[in-house]
Amino acid sequence: MDEETFALLLETVRRFVDERLIPNEDRVEEEDAVPPEIIEEMKELGLFGLSVPQEYGGLGLTMSEEARVIYELGRTSFAYRSVIGTTVGIGSQGIVMDGTEAQKREWLPRLAAGMMASFALTEPGSGSDAASISTSAVREGDNYRINGNKRYITNAPRAGMLTVMARSEKDVPGARGITAFIVAADTPGVSFGKPDKKMGQKGAISSDVNFDDVIVPANNIIGGEPGRGFKTAMKVLNRGRIHLSALSSGMCHRLVQESVQYAAERKQFGQAIGAFQLVQGLIADSQTDAYAAWCMTRDLAKRYDAGEDVNRDVACTKYFASEALGRCADRAVQVHGGAGYMAEYKVERFYRDVRLMRIYEGTSQIQQTIIAKSLLREAGLNL
Ligand SMILES: Cc1cc2nc3c(=O)[nH]c(=O)nc-3n(C[C@H](O)[C@H](O)[C@H](O)COP(=O)(O)OP(=O)(O)OC[C@H]3O[C@@H](n4cnc5c(N)ncnc54)[C@H](O)[C@@H]3O)c2cc1C
């Protein structure tokens, strides 16, 4: 996309966030749903197709451009970004990165137009240890028969298709036995659990997905070759972690804004609380976290676009940005005092919503192990 068109898109998204999304935040919280008319507007803006190449009907943004758009969506309720999040990120990228030409032509235009995609990796017995999944895919002629259960799958009940990781090579343990399949959500045998009751993120949906004798053509293997699904999943998650770092940075920004505004307005001891240096310290620490998270994310996205090997820095950035966001949310509550604990002030909601950032798409501990192991391997340790 040329610079001028991208600047226009970014400005449109900024205005959409300020004029449509932020004013409807309380409604999303009360109704536990993003209003359908807003979802339609998101489709019209092309937000579902941010990362789908233009030849398949999307906007074809680079990672750097996507990060800037997602930063803007970070300035409001988590639930809005969640509507497009899995389609832009983990749900579609397996096809974009590793799909066959026929798979791209069949699915990407529909996703860009607003069909939701989910990414089904996690299972009741397999979270951080993703290579240990037990959902099975057994070859029967030109088809595979899939059986198993997936857990906490974002957007599953409203998805049109799922990228499903299953163990197709039963004699090959670990990562090399896993295949990624495209499964249409209305395939017989696919069913969804009740929406999960969560700590926060009202309006965002996740649930179990059950596969009972689900028959899927072998043609639906992403890339056509069995045994490559784990690699695809890790590539998709790596990219998703940059997306989440941009989201965390945008949310840090919003929390700093809320803190500054409150500190300028609230008076105690005859003056604005912002005049107290201890309150200034909270604000300064949050702004420093916000700035650092965004600098790391932008640098990383640029290097990702340039094709550099950034795996370790993806882990550093997701780890830092999500932990920084947790600190910013905590300080924002503190700056607000008792009001920060009350639902009518926005920071209470952010405090609950952002907790997830340190858990999904790789917990902070998993990011730490990726960072440290990569350095130690370079030093010759056999890990
Ligand atoms: C709301 C929500 C939405 C989600 N959406 C999706 C989705 O769309 N698709 C999907 O596939 N998954 C999804 N997930 C799953 C998410 O990615 C996992 O919850 C996450 O990867 C952690 O796995 P777990 O919950 O099994 O925790 P566990 O892996 O059991 O971890 C528990 C604790 O042990 C620590 N731990 C585990 N292994 C190690 C280790 N080797 N070293 C140090 N510490 C370790 C963890 O850091 C954590 O603190 C979602 C989860 C939630 C809550």
The answer to whether the CB of 153 is under 6 A from ligand 1 is yes
The whole-angstrom separation of Cα 308 and Cα 154 is 30
Do 33 and 203 form a contact (C-beta atoms < 8 A)? yes
Average pLDDT over residues 121-145: 97
**CA distances to 178, 203, 220 from 195, in Å:** 27, 11, 27
- List of residues 6+ apart from 379 with CB closer than 8 A: none
55, 348, 361, 378: the active-site residue: 361
* Best residue for ligand 1 mutational test, from 202, 238, 359 (most atoms within 8 Å of Cβ): 359
Q: How many CB atoms lie under 10 A from the CB of residue 105?
A: 12
The confidence score (pLDDT) of residue 170 equals 87
The confidence score (pLDDT) of residue 60 equals 96
H or E element in which residue 312 lies? helix 311-336
Give Cα 78 to chain centroid, integer Å. Answer: 10
Does residue 344 have an active-site annotation?
Answer: no
The confidence score (pLDDT) of residue 1 equals 85
* Best residue for ligand 1 mutational test, from 84, 121, 152 (most atoms within 8 Å of Cβ): 152
The whole-angstrom separation of Cα 59 and Cα 79 is 22
Average pLDDT over residues 247-273: 98
The answer to whether the CB of 356 is under 6 A from ligand 1 is yes
The answer to whether the CB of 119 is under 6 A from ligand 1 is yes
Place of tokens 């659990």: 193
Tell me the pTM.
0.97
Task: Tell me the pLDDT of the chain averaged across its residues.
Answer: 97
Confidence grade of residue 365 (pLDDT, cut at 50, 70, 90): very high
- List of residues 6+ apart from 202 with CB closer than 8 A: 28, 29, 32, 79, 349
- For ligand 1, what atom is nearest to the CA of residue 363? 47
Average pLDDT over residues 110-131: 97
The answer to whether the CB of 371 is under 6 A from ligand 1 is no
Q: Is the dihedral of CA 199, 204, 210, 211 positive or negative?
A: negative
Spacing, Cα 329 to ligand 1 middle (Å): 21
Average pLDDT over residues 16-27: 98
Spacing, Cα 276 to ligand 1 middle (Å): 40
Q: What percent of the chain has pLDDT over 90?
A: 98
Place of tokens 């405090």: 351
Average pLDDT over residues 83-91: 95
**CA distances to 253, 331, 332 from 257, in Å:** 6, 12, 9
Domains, in order of start, for the chain: 3-112 (1.10.540.10), 117-226 (2.40.110.10), 231-378 (1.20.140.10)
Spacing, Cα 366 to ligand 1 middle (Å): 9
The whole-angstrom separation of Cα 250 and Cα 95 is 27
Give Cα 346 to chain centroid, integer Å. Answer: 21
**pLDDT (tens digit, 9 = 90+) per residue, 317-326?**
999 999 999 9
* Best residue for ligand 1 mutational test, from 123, 181, 363 (most atoms within 8 Å of Cβ): 363
The answer to whether the CB of 78 is under 6 A from ligand 1 is no
In the chain, at which residue ranges do the beta strands (DSSP E only) sit?
117-120, 136-140, 143-154, 161-167, 178-184, 190-192, 206-217, 267-268, 271-272
The answer to whether the CB of 156 is under 6 A from ligand 1 is no
Spacing, Cα 127 to ligand 1 middle (Å): 5
H or E element in which residue 93 lies? helix 93-98
The answer to whether the CB of 154 is under 6 A from ligand 1 is yes
- For ligand 1, what atom is nearest to the CA of residue 122? 11
In angstroms, the first-to-last Cα distance of the chain is: 42
